[in-house]
Structure 1
């Protein structure tokens, strides 16, 4: 974890410790004689039924999943296994994350029936083009120790996108991928792909959170019947999202955390979100969003937070 991620995680933990309403969410902190941060956590684990969304090819996927960006090695493996145990069925990885093997080991460690999972990975820029894309896909399958993927995305609109898409269409038609999609495409780049695609992408995975609400992309994707999916639904804690005054006020109103409010906001917009954490308490907390509802006043307050710009300039 980078120093920036560590700071973000600390900000979130600090909020969880000081929130008077946090106990109402079913997680209690043992603050007396705590041997380490979250060392005495007791979690009221619930059986969670995550709703599905139906993609434009008829395939169903969970609307809430587990992201793995920034996780590696044993930490990644254990986090994936714990996420599956907690109730997650959608798992998101990518070649460029360097953790596909660890994700595969986590799946095996969980002991779950493969058919119950929805596994996503992504084609990186280095593997762009028809032949390279097919080789890159086979490498991903090998690392994950899987026979097929539920969803495969072009990670970024770079290089020979047309050749990559043709290869992915063939893999889709051959049954090696249940659904194909894109990531980080803007509306102009999406239109270019649609001009030659024989198979319409089912998803566009883009940066989406309270500070970058992507209202135009949201409308465009709706018009094309392409599912919107959010990476970094918490903005990785950047710009103080976990301690934001408006989100904190809404969280206290509902007896929830800012993280849960953020995920509920995505859910009510119909956006698939893939939060990531290596902390078991957060993995479980992020699932606990289906027993409350943001009202219109809450939504209007969150809309005010939109800065309409990326919080990850290093990715642009």
Structure 2
């Protein structure tokens, strides 16, 4: 469902519930800022009040855009889903979201299959030390930072590996090594409004 504005969002949500034959969704988010976000969000608030959704939130909103929603909201957004990975750790947004009681959810935590993303020597070295894959160490790093991760894969073994990250903890020295990889570098095509100099 991709809609903008109150009426279209309300109708789209009802149609989606009908098509999926459900009474409610666990979470509905506004995928991109569109300029009509107040009205779109108001439709989500009404759906929340009516029991049609259990949580509402945002995606790809920077701090200023999130704050604009909060300032006009009667139901606070629960989450902001933003690109977050080793090369763009989103420290500034993480601090902001945490201060507002919002969940920081990582989109593209493993770099969307960008060549060389998991081959960085520092990451390889840390992974070898824990006898884990670079992907597992990356996901564990983000998890330890208090970030929810949603890695994308259709491979059953990768799914199992992605879930097997809760039985080890990265030492502070290794966390610092991984933090050193932060280049504030987005994957190609990310909206300019998410760049840290824009908020």
Tell me the number of residue pairs that the alignment of Structure 1 and Structure 2 aligns.
Answer: 192
Would the alpha carbon gap of residues 314 and 192 (structure 1) be closer, same or farther in structure 2, given more than 3 Å must change? closer
After superposition, residues 157-168 of structure 1 pair within 5 angstroms as 157-168=33-44
Of 53, 59, 64, the residue aligned with 1:183 is 59
What is the aligned partner in structure 2 of residue 171 from structure 1? 47
Paired position in structure 2 for 1:20? none
Post-superposition Cα deviations, 1:69-120, rounded to whole Å, max 9, x if no partner, equal xxxxxxxxxxxxxxxxxxxxxxxxxx4xxxxxxxxxxxxxxxxxxxxxxxxx
- Residue by residue over 1:148-173, the C-alpha shift from the partner in whole angstroms, topping out at 9 and shown as x without a partner, is 11111010111311111111101001
Aligned-residue offset at 1:144: 3.3
User: Equivalents in 2 of 1:176, 1:310: separation in Å?
Assistant: 34
State the partner residue of 1:227.
103
Pair 1:133-2:9 in alignment:
yes
TM-score (norm 2): 0.92
Q: SS in structure 1 opposite 2:114?
A: helix
| 2:32 aligned to which of 156, 177, 188 | 156
CA contact (8 A) 1:129 1:159 kept: no
Q: Secondary structure at the match of 1:313?
A: coil
Which aligned pairs between 1:63-142 and structure 2 lie closer than 5 A?
95=1, 124=2, 127-142=3-18
* Matching residue of 2:81: 205
Aligned match of 2:168: 292
Could you say if the C-alpha distance between residues 228 and 314 of structure 1 is closer, same or farther in structure 2, counting changes exceeding 3 Å?
Answer: closer
> Which residue pairs with 1:255 in the alignment?
131
Asked if 2 retains the 8 angstrom alpha-carbon contact of 1:152 and 1:180, the reply is: yes
Alignment partner, residue 15 of structure 1: none
Once the two structures are superposed, what CA deviation does each residue of 1:284-311 show, in whole Å capped at 9, x if it has no partner? 1110101111011111111111111312
3-state DSSP of counterpart to 2:124: helix
Rounded Cα–Cα distance in structure 2 between residues aligned with 1:283 and 1:143:
28
In structure 1, what is the equivalent of residue 195 of structure 2?
none
Residue in 1 aligned with 2:21? Answer: 145
Task: Report the CA distance between 1:239 and its aligned residue.
Answer: 5.0
Unaligned runs of 5+ in 2: 193-199
Cα shift readout 1:38-85 (whole Å, capped 9, x = no counterpart): xxxxxxxxxxxxxxxxxxxxxxxxxxxxxxxxxxxxxxxxxxxxxxxx
Q: Who wins on radius of gyration, i.e. which is larger?
A: 1
In structure 2, the residue matched to 1:276 is: 152
Per-residue deviation, 1:184: 0.6
- CA distance in 2 between counterparts of 1:143 and 1:159 reads 28
